[in-house]
């Protein structure tokens, strides 16, 4: 009987995620493996006699349900125990709905600002028009909101086989940040503002960004752009945006060079570093069956590798980082 703690190569897990993609976020933070199973008290398992299907956390319960569904002739009381735990953890049952091809021909409504349901984009809206609408409204948006909207636009353009402008890539945080240019703009802000608190904060940030390199993650840079905008407001500098001063997100994402793709393995790892590893090494660590899934004609397929690695449980990610000396 297989559950998450004895699925050594996670081949079953990958099939499960393909069927129930909504459990992906729970998998990323789950703990699995023999040592984790042995650390749990007997009462933590839905199947106590075999120490199978742990329920010690919300993540455990979700994974236990996913694996239990795959087990033939499972005792009803075991599934009842799992379902009771899921109810206690308030896990929505909808995450276990299998993916199906939509039968409706009605086009779902899409918005660049999804939460606000503003700036609609559909098949009749050109990418250039959507960009124009986004740029017109960008001064009203916080960097994180602008980043999300630009990311939605890029996904829509990719689905159509079209390109977006460099400015949209900047707002999505998909171009590299030049630390020297970033530092100069922070120093210029410190010199321009009459607000002593903003000036001090800009000086401190400039000291930090002088030490930046290209390993700083996209998420950290987006947070930095939020901070800069808040300081710009405090220092009365936002009125100079796109005149004598680039806006906060353009200050941070300040080049035309595409950002290096990263893979989340508990830490951000450059995809290029992972592609340089022999596929057989992944087979040795994760099981030989993974080699066929991540390669084509002997070469690693980047999207396939990234997709599989990012869905591994956190314990396996940590082990992989250690094994590969990343």
Cβ contacts of residue 155 below 8 Å, gap of 6+? Answer: none
In a domain, 105, yes or no: no
Give residue 253's pLDDT.
92
Closest listed residue to residue 70, CA positions, set 11, 25, 8:
11
Q: Please state, as a whole number, how many other Cβ atoms lie within 10 Å of the Cβ of residue 267.
A: 13
184/241 same-domain check:
yes
Domain count, the chain: 4
Give residue 12's pLDDT.
80
Can you count the helices (H) and strands (E) in the chain? 17, 8
Cβ contact 323:284 at 8 Å: no
In a domain, 106, yes or no: no
Phi and psi of 325, rounded to 5°? 55, 45
183/248 same-domain check:
yes
Of the three residues 195, 229, 252, the one that is the final residue of a domain is 252
81/25 same-domain check:
yes
125/156 same-domain check:
yes
- Torsion angle (degrees, nearest 10) of CA 180, 182, 183, 188: 120
Of the three residues 96, 128, 145, the one that is the final residue of a domain is 96
Residues paired with 299 in a beta bridge: 296
Q: Provide the sign of the torsion angle of the four alpha carbons 270, 275, 279, 281, taken in this order.
A: negative
In a domain, 102, yes or no: no
Give residue 102's pLDDT.
45
Of the three residues 227, 252, 277, the one that is the final residue of a domain is 252
Residues paired with 262 in a beta bridge: 270
191/165 same-domain check:
no
In a domain, 101, yes or no: no
183: helix, coil or strand?
helix
The H or E element that residue 317 is part of is helix 314-323
Domain that holds residue 277: 262-323
Give residue 22's pLDDT.
87
247/267 same-domain check:
no
Token duo for residue 119: 């700036």
Residue stretches of the chain with pLDDT short of 70: 8-9, 72, 99-108, 214-215
Give residue 105's pLDDT.
52
């Amino acid at each position: 009987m297989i559950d998450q703690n004895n699925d050594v190569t996670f081949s079953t897990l990958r099939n499960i995620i393909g069927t129930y993609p909504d459990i992906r976020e729970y998998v990323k933070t789950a703990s699995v493996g023999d040592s984790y199973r042995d650390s749990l008290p007997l009462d933590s398992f839905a199947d106590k006699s075999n120490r199978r299907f742990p329920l010690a956390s919300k993540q455990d319960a979700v994974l236990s349900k996913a694996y239990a569904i795959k087990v033939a002739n499972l005792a009803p009381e075991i599934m009842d125990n799992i379902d009771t735990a899921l109810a206690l953890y308030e896990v929505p049952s909808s995450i276990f709905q299998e993916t199906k091809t939509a039968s409706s021909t009605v086009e779902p409504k899409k918005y660049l600002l999804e939460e606000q349901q503003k700036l609609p984009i559909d098949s009749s809206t050109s990418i250039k028009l959507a960009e124009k609408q986004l740029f017109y409204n960008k001064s009203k948006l916080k960097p994180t909101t602008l980043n999300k909207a630009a990311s939605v636009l890029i996904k829509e353009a990719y689905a159509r086989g079209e390109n977006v402008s460099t400015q949209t890539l900047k707002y999505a945080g998909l171009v590299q940040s030049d630390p020297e240019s970033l530092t100069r703009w922070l120093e210029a802000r410190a010199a321009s503002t009459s607000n002593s608190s903003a000036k001090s904060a800009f000086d401190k940030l400039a000291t930090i960004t002088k030490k930046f390199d290209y390993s700083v993650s996209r998420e950290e840079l987006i947070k930095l752009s939020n901070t800069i905008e808040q300081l710009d407001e405090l220092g009365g500098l936002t009125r100079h945006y796109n005149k004598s001063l680039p806006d906060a997100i353009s200050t941070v994402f300040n080049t035309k060079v595409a950002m290096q793709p990263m893979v989340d393995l508990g830490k951000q790892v450059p995809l290029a570093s992972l592609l340089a590893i022999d596929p057989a090494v992944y087979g040795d660590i994760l099981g030989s069956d993974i080699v066929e899934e991540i390669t084509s004609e002997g070469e690693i397929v980047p999207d396939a590798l990234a997709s599989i690695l990012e869905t591994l449980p956190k314990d396996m990610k940590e082990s992989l980082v250690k094994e590969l000396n990343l």
